[in-house]
Structure 1
């Protein structure tokens, strides 16, 4: 099973939708989590179906920011647990072996002053310790200073708070594939 999490930043543009559709056709993920769609629910549902994902949960953008979509193929058995403007939490059942696990798409607060509330939400979602749990998304924070290039350095206390919530929830970083920095996409 393949999962894809992508901060699409404005999915409403036909060019962006077309590129994402082509990319999804090549990668063939079973579950996708899209962040910062900047779309109302009705528009996101149309885009999601156009992308080939008839099943999903869409959380509308607030004004011109935010917006989430967690979508899955028809072949995937999913139960939606909860959702908000910061997360979509699902239970996935693997038909091949009956194994169940959780997937939470998470969008961390971009504003530093709202991060404590986002971390509290993540801690609240850690409510079934016996079920394997994968959290994907954009936390809007880094673990280590080496993960950032340019601009002002991140405060150590922000990274320490992130490390603390990961430890509290027994989560660990499993790595990242493709371009390391988001701004590299324009330089491929």
Structure 2
């Protein structure tokens, strides 16, 4: 089951419905959350009625900002609305294929800190009133730590502590992410560029237990003696023209998205004017390709398809799941600064790296020792007896007890703590 959360920055843009169609076609989401729609009331309902979802919940905008929609596919999930405000929507999700239910909160936090404090209080109140598996998908408009921001004003320690206090009270954990490090940018020139990670998914440990793997005709009509020959000529030359002028729209769209992903990752690491300008150019090119694709499908179909036991067992289990997710190596940078993402290539690079550390290109080196020098260090008789004797039980116990109990296990799969206790 897929859940998509998208900050659209305005649902009245001409490209909005195209992007929704693209998301539905590529990912088939059971739930779609759209944030910062900047549209509410009857206009919001008119737009969502045209989208390929069976149900929708809307919030009102916060002045000229905000706006939050939750849309769902009734074939996949059953939704029960609990409560909503301008900043949040709380629903109970029942997954039909699993017959499981859990709480889902979609949040678009206000840009104003005083109103965000109201949101933190509301979330803590929800935590006190229920004990269901819980997911919070949000644009919090608040970086959690200094590493979540590139340039601009420093992260407020006071506000981040209030944010963390709310998450602790709700018993939330961050299951990590893959992709570009930052989720928001002001899209300025590199000298004024600001980037932040303010969009996050948080879950309760009990939800993590339910879903442990939750990871774009000239010269054709020349003179021909017969009309049928002219048509054949036009068909052939139109194919050549289409290939040279447009190419494969789907391949172009895939390539543009791949380039965008790489550029956004690079901007998060080392921003530059060239990369920012290239990102904006590719976004415009992607919009153009999406328009061409829409026209292509309209021509082909002649219809618009969008019309219709142990007290701590669970704690350690969930902690292990979260740690495992965070410790996954999704990509690695080689010596040339290029990213390797294929699993087999990552394994080979790590293996060859260790092989290089513990091997040498030097085949042999002649070594001669002159044992006649009197100044060479020697062991005393007492030291010789000390190292040549058998290992005592006391020495074995001292070595075993010097190990940390729950570090890496031995070849038998048992930690040092097992032997220390049993």
| Same fold flag (TM > 0.5) | yes
Distance 1:177 1:72, change over 3 A: farther
Corresponding residue number in structure 2 for 1:25: 25
For normalisation by structure 2, the TM-score amounts to 0.42
**2:168 counterpart of 1:180:** no
Cα separation, 1, equivalents of 2:179 and 2:81: 29
**2:93 counterpart of 1:105:** no
**2:156 counterpart of 1:135:** no
- Tell me which protein shows more strand as a share of its residues: 1
Corresponding residue number in structure 2 for 1:71: 71
Deviation for aligned residue 1:48: 2.1
Tell whether the 8 Å contact from 1:2 to 1:31 is kept in structure 2 after alignment. Answer: yes
Which one is further off, 135-144 or 10-19? 10-19
Cα separation, 2, equivalents of 1:166 and 1:3: 21
Cα separation, 2, equivalents of 1:177 and 1:111: 29
Cα separation, 2, equivalents of 1:115 and 1:61: 15
CA RMSD of aligned residues (A): 1.9
Deviations 1:118-162 (A, max 9, x none): 110111122454310001011111221101111111111211111
**2:46 counterpart of 1:46:** yes
Corresponding residue number in structure 1 for 2:392: none
Query: Which stretches of structure 1, 4 residues or more, deviate above 4 A after TM superposition?
Result: none
Give the match's secondary structure for 2:150. Answer: coil
For normalisation by structure 1, the TM-score amounts to 0.91
Deviation for aligned residue 1:175: 2.4
Deviation for aligned residue 1:166: 0.2
Corresponding residue number in structure 2 for 1:145: 146
Tell whether the 8 Å contact from 1:94 to 1:100 is kept in structure 2 after alignment. Answer: yes
Distance 1:48 1:127, change over 3 A: farther
Pairs aligned (count)? 188
Cα separation, 2, equivalents of 1:129 and 1:80: 15
Cα separation, 2, equivalents of 1:13 and 1:115: 27
Which structure exhibits the higher relative contact order, with contacts defined as CA atoms closer than 8 Å and separated by 6 or more residues?
1
- Tell me which protein shows more helix as a share of its residues: 2
Give the match's secondary structure for 2:163. Answer: helix
**2:137 counterpart of 1:116:** no
Cα separation, 2, equivalents of 1:21 and 1:41: 22
Max Rg structure = 2
Cα separation, 1, equivalents of 2:63 and 2:167: 30
Tell whether the 8 Å contact from 2:66 to 2:110 is kept in structure 1 after alignment. Answer: no
Give the match's secondary structure for 2:32. Answer: strand
Deviation for aligned residue 1:106: 1.1
Q: Where does the alignment leave 5 or more consecutive residues of structure 2 unmatched? A: 186-263, 266-275, 283-422
Corresponding residue number in structure 1 for 2:158: 157
Distance 1:82 1:148, change over 3 A: same
Which one is further off, 146-155 or 36-45? 36-45
Distance 1:18 1:103, change over 3 A: same
Distance 1:140 1:62, change over 3 A: closer
Deviation for aligned residue 1:26: 1.0
Q: Where does the alignment leave 5 or more consecutive residues of structure 1 unmatched? A: none
Give the match's secondary structure for 1:63. Answer: coil
Cα separation, 2, equivalents of 1:42 and 1:53: 17
Corresponding residue number in structure 2 for 1:6: 6
